[in-house]
């Protein structure tokens, strides 16, 4: 295990600046997620940590070692890609044992190591099978076990779940997180899927156009986005943004509720809302409409639990409100957050 330190790293391809002066520290044993839209530079950053790309500027330290110019094989890292590249003609055992065979490790030591890794990922009973007889999630575990036998200091994972279907992806995500908790190896995980990032990461790094927009725990990033890019990139539907005279006002759909439901001791900002469409999602309903009245007419979305007895009258103005603690303010010109609120501890309890 090791701490990873990235110091002022940039990567310039021809005239394109794919990664622009990024500095990050990944703590020993931490699960860090690099998140951002397609083309933001997250894979390039990961590939530089792996040693598959040379940085144009900057330095990378893995543990105490300066690794910037080390060959991938000398960094003691393990990479798991979307494409697991298992050997189809080999059994699960042989696939996992492969890196040890290449290193010339003797049979007894190999056996012990494979059993240990298979046990950690829950494949002990499947060692004699071939990959084609296994599910996508199980194949992913073979790839993990295969990287594990090398005792890596750092796991680098580039969208390893993206070729699984939605249900499998969910369980594979859970397994991956449990696995990392057990093994405790420093892990850096690339994804463009914010749900995956929120579910997996101890901390998330939100990237855009080669730069880091925000680094924080999932809660910090969701509740206190550093700027309007993060505010709208995280969350589905995204944070509502309304441009008022002096600044940009932000509130999440689930904080935007019919005014009648707020507990009387909660300070709220009333907002007039004209709903024109309702989308039923099961546990919640999404109300699409426009805020108006004292605010400039702007499209917005409210998310209301289906259990709340509220029936909107389509096309007419209704009184809604946002708890003041849930309002966010951003600089109109730079988009940067102006202040950091402490959120209402129990958001649902504020609404009765």
Contacts with ligand ATP by CB under 6 A: the residue count is: 12
Q: Per CB under 6 A, which region of 23-31, 38-46, 87-95, 241-249 contacts ligand ATP?
A: 38-46
Q: Which of 94, 187, 198 is nearest to 146 (CA)?
A: 94
54 binds ligand ATP (CB under 6 A): no
Residue 213 Cβ, how far from ligand ATP at the closest point, in Å?
Answer: 13
Tokens of 280: 């039923």
Q: Does 208 bind ligand ATP (CB under 6 A)?
A: no
Residue 289: closest CA among 242, 325, 351: 242
* Position among 43, 68, 208, 228 found at the interface with ligand ATP (CB under 6 A): 43
By CB under 6 A, residue 38 contacts ligand ATP: yes
Those residues with Cβ within 8 angstroms of residue 154's Cβ, 6 or more apart along the chain or in another chain? 2, 4, 26, 49, 62, 75, 76, 77, 78, 185, 186, 187, 188
Token pair for 251: 């509130």
Instruction: Tell me which of 24, 41, 147, 229 binds ligand ATP, using CB under 6 A.
Output: 41
Rounded-to-integer distance, Cα 115 and Cα 337, Å: 50
343 makes contact with ligand ATP (CB under 6 A) = no
Does residue 96 touch ligand ATP according to CB under 6 A? no
Of 39 and 122, which has the nearer Cβ to ligand ATP?
39
Shortest spacing between CB 314 and ligand ATP, in angstroms: 39
DSSP three-state, residue 211: strand
Distance of CA 93 to the CA centre of its chain: 32
Cis before 237 (ω within 30) = yes
For 54-70, letters b (16+ CB in 10 Å) and e give: ebeebebbbbeeebbee
Of 32-40, 60-68, 168-176, 272-280: span binding ligand ATP (CB under 6 A): 32-40
The answer to the question of residue 40 lying near ligand ATP (CB under 6 A) is yes
Sheet harboring 328-331: ordered strands across? 240-243, 247-251, 328-331
Q: What is the nearest approach in angstroms of ligand ATP to the Cβ of residue 189?
A: 12
Tokens read off for 66: 């300066």
Torsion angles phi and psi, residue 66, rounded to 5: -80, 115
CA-nearest of 109, 80, 102, 261 to 180 is 80
Interface pick for ligand ATP out of 139, 173, 192, 203 (rule CB under 6 A): 192
33: tokens are 């997620």
Span interacting with ligand ATP, options 35-43, 90-98, 125-133, 327-335, rule CB under 6 A: 35-43
Locate tokens 């575990």: which residue?
141
Q: Which residues contact 38 (CB under 8 A, 6 or more apart)?
A: 192
C-beta of 161: minimal distance to ligand ATP in Å? 13
Q: Which of 226, 250, 254, 231 is nearest to 240 (CA)?
A: 250
Q: Which is nearer to ligand ATP, 148 or 164 (CB)?
A: 164
Residue 36 or 160: which CB sits closer to ligand ATP?
A: 36
CA-based torsion, 45, 51, 57, 58: positive or negative: positive
CB closer to ligand ATP out of 118 and 206: 206
Looking at the Cβ atoms of 40 and 145, the one nearer to ligand ATP is: 40
Is 36 a binding residue for ligand ATP by CB under 6 A? The answer is: yes
The reply to whether 44 sits near ligand ATP by the rule CB under 6 A is: yes
H-helix or E-strand spanning residue 92: helix 92-102
| Residue closer to ligand ATP, measured from CB, 38 or 311 | 38
Shortest reach from residue 202's CB to ligand ATP, in Å: 21
Stretch that binds ligand ATP, among 13-21, 122-130, 216-224, 271-279 (CB under 6 A): 13-21
What is d(CA 249, CA 324) in angstroms, rounded to the nearest whole number? 11
User: Is 192 or 303 the residue whose CB approaches ligand ATP more closely?
Assistant: 192
In the complex with ligand ATP, which residue's Cβ is closer, 36 or 335?
A: 36
CB closer to ligand ATP, 38 vs 316:
38
Binding site for ligand ATP (CB under 6 A): 13, 16, 18, 36, 38-44, 192
């Amino acid at each position: 295990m090791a701490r990873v330190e990235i110091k002022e790293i940039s990567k310039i391809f021809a005239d394109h600046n794919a990664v622009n002066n990024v500095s990050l520290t990944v703590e020993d044993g931490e699960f860090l997620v690099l998140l951002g839209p397609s083309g933001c530079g997250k894979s390039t950053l990961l590939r530089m940590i792996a040693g598959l790309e040379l940085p144009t500027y900057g330095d990378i330290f893995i543990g105490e070692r300066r690794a910037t110019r080390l060959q991938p094989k000398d960094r003691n890292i393990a990479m798991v890609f979307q494409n697991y590249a298992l050997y189809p003609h080999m059994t699960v055992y042989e696939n996992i044992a492969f890196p040890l065979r290449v290193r010339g490790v003797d049979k007894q030591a190999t056996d012990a190591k494979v059993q240990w890794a298979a046990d950690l990922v829950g494949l002990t009973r499947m060692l004699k099978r071939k990959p084609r007889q296994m599910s996508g999630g199980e194949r992913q575990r073979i790839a993990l076990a295969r990287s594990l036998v090398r005792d890596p200091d750092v796991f680098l994972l580039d969208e390893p779940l993206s070729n699984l279907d939605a249900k499998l992806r969910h369980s594979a995500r859970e397994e991956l997180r449990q696995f990392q908790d057990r093994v405790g190896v420093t892990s850096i995980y690339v994804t463009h899927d914010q749900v995956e990032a929120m579910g997996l990461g101890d901390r998330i790094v939100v990237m855009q156009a080669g730069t880091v927009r925000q680094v924080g725990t999932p809660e910090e990033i969701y509740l206190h986005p550093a700027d309007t890019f993060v505010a709208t990139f995280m969350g589905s539907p995204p944070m509502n943004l309304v441009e008022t005279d002096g600044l940009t006002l932000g509130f999440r759909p689930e904080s935007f509720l019919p005014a009648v439901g707020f507990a009387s001791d909660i300070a709220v900002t009333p907002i007039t809302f004209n709903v024109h469409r309702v989308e039923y999602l099961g546990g919640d309903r999404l109300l699409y409409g426009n805020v108006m009245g004292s605010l400039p007419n702007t499209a917005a979305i409210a998310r209301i639990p289906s259990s709340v007895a509220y029936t909107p009258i389509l096309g007419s103005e209704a009184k809604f409100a946002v708890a003041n603690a849930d309002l966010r303010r951003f600089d109109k010109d730079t988009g940067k957050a102006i202040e950091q609120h402490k959120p209402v501890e129990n958001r649902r309890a504020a609404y009765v």
